[in-house]
Chains A and B, each alone.
Chain A
Amino acid sequence: MSALAAVLVLPLAGALFAVALSGRATRIVALAASAGTLAAALALAASVISHGTLRLEVGGWAPPVGIVLEADGLSIAMIVMTAFVMVAASLSACHMLAPEAAGPRVAFGFWPLMLLLWTALNAVFLSRDLFNLYVGIELLSLAAIGLVALEGKAAALSAAIRYMIFALAGSLLYLAGLVLVYAAHGALDIGLLADRMPAETDALALALMTAGLMAKTALFPFHVWLPPAHGGAAAPASAMLSGLVPKASFIILLRLWFEVMPDRAAGEALTLMAALGIAAVVWGSVGALVQIRMKLIVAYSTVAQIGYLFLFFPLAGGASAEQPWAGGAWNGMVFFAVSHGLAKAAMFIAVGQWMSVRGSDRLDEMRGFASAMPMTAFAFVLASITIVGLPPSGGFTAKYLIMTSAFAAGQWFWGLVMAGGGLLAAAYLYRPVAEIFARADIPALPVPSRVWQVVPLFLACAAVALGIASSAPFELLTMGRPQAAEDGL
Chain B
Amino acid sequence: MTSPTLYALTGAALIGIGFYGLIEAQHLLRRVITFNLIGSGLFVFLGAVGARNDGFDPIPQALIITGIVVALSASALAVGLVVAHSRASGRATFPEEDEDA
Q: Which residues of A contact B (CB under 8 A)?
A: 64-65, 131, 134-135, 138-139, 141-142, 145-146, 149, 152-154, 157-158, 160-162, 164-165, 168-169, 171-172, 175-176, 179, 182-183, 186
Contacts and interface: CB of A to CB of B under 8 A. Distances in A.
Contacts of A152: 84, 88
A196 to B, nearest CB: 16
A135 B81 contact: no
B70 A168 contact: no
Interface in B7-59: 15, 22, 28, 31, 35, 38-39, 42, 45-46, 49, 52, 57, 59
B63 interface: yes
B77 A161 contact: no
Contacts of A153: 88
Contact of B85 (A145, A157, A171, A176): A157
Contact of B60 (A138, A149, A162, A182): A182
- Interface class of chain B by DSSP: helix
A175 B49 contact: no
Contacts of B57: 186
A145 B78 CA distance: 9
B85 to A, nearest CB: 4
Nearest to A157: B85
B5 interface: no
Most buried by A among B28, B31, B42, B81: B81
Contact of A164 (B22, B45, B81): B81
Given A154-B89, A158-B89, A172 B84 contact: no
Contacts of B46: 179, 182-183
A164 B82 CA distance: 11
Contacts of A141: 74
A160 B59 contact: no
A141 to B, nearest CB: 8
Nearest to A168: B35
Contact of B38 (A162, A172, A186): A172
Nearest to A186: B57
Contact of B67 (A160, A164, A165, A175): A175
Contacts of A162: 94
